[in-house]
Amino acid sequence: MIFDNHNRPINYLRLAVTDRCNLRCSYCMPEHGLDWLSRSALLSYEELLRLCHIFAGLGIDKVRITGGEPFVRKDLIKFLDSLSNIEGIKQINLTTNGVASLPFIPRLKELGIRSVNLSLDTLDRERFFEITRRDELPAVLKTLDALIEQQFHVKINAVVLNGNNDADIIPMAELTKNLPVDVRFIEEMPFNGGDHEATSPVWDHRKILEQLQSSWPDIQKLTDPPNSTAFHYQIPGFKGKIGIIAAWTRSFCGSCNRIRLTPQGMLKTCLYDNGVLNIRDAIRSGNSNDQIAEKLMIAFRSRHENGWEAEAAAKAEGSFESMAMIGG
């Protein structure tokens, strides 16, 4: 196990396999999309597998596949199959918007994937269209049903947007009454790829909790698992749990065990940094696995202490990213 320069273990990689997406969520990207990466700019599956092998050698044992929308990249299942065979990788999870995921659910189960994060910000079809600019709520709900039926651990991610889906907080939380799912409310972060000016979110974790308490004064705080980014709660008698992710407030930096790899191969050791190592260039310029591992170790041992410090450094360099280039 590798520790960073602030004595935090690093064992969790979030891998964004594409920047492309079949939705256009307003908190993530503009209506016209992004300047999509060319095929040659994207890390190939062969490169990703080589890197994952190196990461596993450094102590990464958990990988989350994200994007963009992972299922819009061709041959994702083949890649997952190879990834699941890398020694040392004990857990593979996935984050998806659920639009095109349904046909792949049985294969995910066969590959040993047990936990899926499904992004769903509202149960209202019009509001879904307003937020994502696509009329895909029915497809996402079918995916949700199938995941539950196939007994995946499902975490629903909902970004809370002021004056938009804030009215959905209570109906979304009510899903936990009869369904064994976690519904997690996320503070909006400033990664919308230029869709709108990014300001501090009105709906921070305190306001979200107050809203839940107004309907369920007896909502109970649960113990949070180690390295969790969410504050966990449960409404007495309900099957599922509720999470609140203080992604903008950044309350979880002290126990952060995660690193990120962007689709074009930038290593991020903090969600808020600009990318600290261009691994694509490192592999394409002929470095050996040992040499790449050495570069990674140096990056792990030079991490910012928290997201505020990383953001200040990123701003000084000048950046404006979309979450589809980061992976969430």
User: Footprint of ligand SF4 on this chain (CB under 6 A)?
Assistant: 21, 23-25, 28-29, 67-69, 97, 119, 323-324
What residue 186 binds from ligand SF4, ligand SAM, none (CB within 5 to 8 A, per partner kind)? ligand SAM
The nearer residue to ligand SF4, 68 or 307, going by C-beta atoms, is 68
Strands 230-234 and 220-221, by their bridges, are antiparallel
Among the listed residues 189, 120, 105, 188, the one whose alpha carbon sits nearest the alpha carbon of residue 152: 105
Secondary-structure percent of the chain, ordered helix, strand, coil, rounded to 5:
35, 20, 45
Residue 189 found at the interface with ligand SAM (CB under 6 A): yes
Contacts of 308 (CB under 8 A, 6+ apart): 250, 272
Q: Which of 178, 177, 171, 253 is nearest to 212 (CA)?
A: 171
Q: Work out whether 66 is an interface residue with ligand SAM (CB under 6 A).
A: yes
Report residue 72 as tokens.
Answer: 């819009």
Question: Which does residue 24 touch among ligand SF4, ligand SAM, none (CB within 5 to 8 A, set by kind)?
Answer: ligand SF4
Estimate to the nearest angstrom the gap between the alpha carbon of 232 and the chain centroid: 17
For ligand SAM, give the closer residue by CB, 118 or 292. Answer: 118
Q: What is the dihedral of CA 191, 44, 86, 276, to 10 degrees?
A: -40
Tell the residue number behind the tokens 């709900």, with chain if given: 141
- Residue 292 engages ligand SAM in binding (rule: CB under 6 A): no
Among 11, 18, 143, 192, binds ligand SAM (CB under 6 A): 192
Q: Which residues pair with 116 in a beta bridge?
A: 94, 154
The one of ligand SF4, ligand SAM, none whose footprint includes residue 192, by CB under 5 to 8 A per kind, is ligand SAM
Q: Which does residue 11 bind out of ligand SAM, ligand SF4, none, counting CB within 5 to 8 angstroms by kind?
A: none
Report the distance separating Cα 118 and Cα 272, nearest Å: 22
Tell me if residue 244 falls in helix, strand or coil.
strand
Q: Could you tell me which stretch among 6-14, 52-60, 64-72, 298-306 binds ligand SAM (CB under 6 A)? A: 64-72
Nearest approach in angstroms of CB 69 to ligand SF4 is: 5
What is the rounded CA–CA span in Å between residue 253 and residue 309?
11
What is the rounded distance in angstroms from the CA atom of residue 198 to the CA atom of residue 193?
Answer: 10
Task: Give the whole-angstrom CA distance, residue 241 versus residue 222.
Answer: 9
Shortest distance (Å) from residue 132 CB to ligand SAM: 9
End-to-end CA distance of the chain: 24
Q: Which of 143, 114, 150, 112 is nearest to 23 (CA)?
A: 143
3-class secondary structure, 142: helix
Footprint of ligand SAM on 152-171 (CB under 6 A): 157, 159
Binding segment (CB under 6 A) for ligand SAM, from list 66-74, 226-234, 251-259, 293-301: 66-74
- Contact between 328 and ligand SAM by CB under 6 A: the answer reads yes
* The only residue of 10, 15, 21, 63 in contact with ligand SAM, by rule CB under 6 A: 21
**For ligand SAM, which is the closer residue by CB, 229 or 292?**
229
Total of chain residues touching ligand SAM, rule CB under 6 A: 23
Q: Does 95 bind ligand SAM (CB under 6 A)?
A: yes
Shortest Å, Cβ 247 to ligand SF4: 13
Q: Among residues 247, 259, 266, 270, which is the contact residue for ligand SAM, using CB under 6 A?
A: 247
Binding site for ligand SAM (CB under 6 A): 21, 27-28, 66-69, 95-97, 119, 157, 159, 186, 188-189, 191-192, 247, 323-324, 327-328
